[in-house]
């Protein structure tokens, strides 16, 4: 079965790719990530994905358009639901491309990350599946978290320190935005 795998980045694609291949799927990666900020980060992830796809013998569709303006327009004043909006943007586009290119199904490497909201991703993927008329394959790829990291290190792939969006970057580096349970208490 041909499956279009939305790929947020090369390191997060490693385990889902191997897992889907073991199941008998024929994955093609699709790089569509309008959330990534800044532009240099976007280019670095795109280049790393392209290089990885060559070494992994992975067919790859690239959307090289830097879509930050569209992403920000959707999220501004909706920051509390930014992940919902971001997942929807990326999975809808993936499903549309999968349908246009005659894939049997679609999925996402976002399902590999311990930091993503799996229930939300699954719900959005299933809703889009019904709307577009193409199967969404949900797998909890988090079981391969450490394996993927180890393989990315061995392959010397660029590993980014945040999901890509400007809000995530701020939360990663501005410790005052961390939930109270993770903030250092001052005495």
Q: What is the largest CA-CA distance in the chain?
A: 61
Pairing of strands 60-62, 105-108: unpaired
Per-residue pLDDT averaged across 162-169, rounded?
Answer: 70
Q: Which of 18-27, 33-42, 70-79, 176-185 has the highest mean pLDDT?
A: 18-27
In tens, the pLDDT along 14-66 reads 999 999 999 999 999 999 999 998 999 999 999 999 999 999 999 999 999 99
Cis peptide, bond prior to residue 38, ω within 30 of zero: yes
pLDDT of residue 178: 58
| Residue 131 pLDDT grade (very low, low, confident, very high; cuts 50, 70, 90) | very high
CATH code matching the domain that covers 2-179, chosen among 1.10.357.10, 3.40.50.620, 3.50.50.60, 3.40.190.10: 3.40.50.620
Helix (H, G, I), strand (E, B) or coil at 103: coil
What kind and span of H or E run contains 30? Answer: strand 26-31
What is the domain partition of the chain in residue ranges?
Answer: 2-179
49 closest CA partner among 40, 39, 58: 58
Residue pair 45/6 in contact (Cβ under 8 Å)? The answer is no
């Amino acid at each position: 079965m041909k499956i279009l795998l939305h790929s947020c980045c090369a390191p997060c694609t490693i385990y889902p790719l191997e897992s889907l291949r073991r199941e008998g799927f024929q994955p093609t990666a699709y790089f569509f990530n309008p959330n990534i900020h800044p532009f240099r980060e976007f280019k670095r992830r795109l280049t790393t994905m392209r290089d990885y796809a060559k070494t992994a013998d992975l067919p790859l569709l690239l959307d090289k358009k830097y879509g930050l303006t569209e992403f920000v327009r959707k999220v501004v004043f909706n920051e509390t639901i930014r992940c919902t909006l971001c997942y929807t943007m990326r999975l809808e586009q993936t499903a549309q491309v999968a349908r246009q290119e005659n894939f049997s199904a679609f999925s996402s490497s976002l399902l590999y990350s311990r930091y993503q909201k799996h229930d939300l991703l699954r719900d959005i993927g299933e809703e889009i599946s019904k709307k577009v008329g193409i199967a969404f394959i949900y797998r909890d790829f988090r079981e391969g978290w450490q394996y993927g990291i180890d393989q990315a290190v061995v392959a010397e792939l660029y590993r980014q320190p945040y999901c890509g969006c400007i809000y995530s970057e701020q939360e990663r580096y501005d410790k005052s935005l961390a939930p109270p349970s993770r903030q250092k208490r001052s005495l």
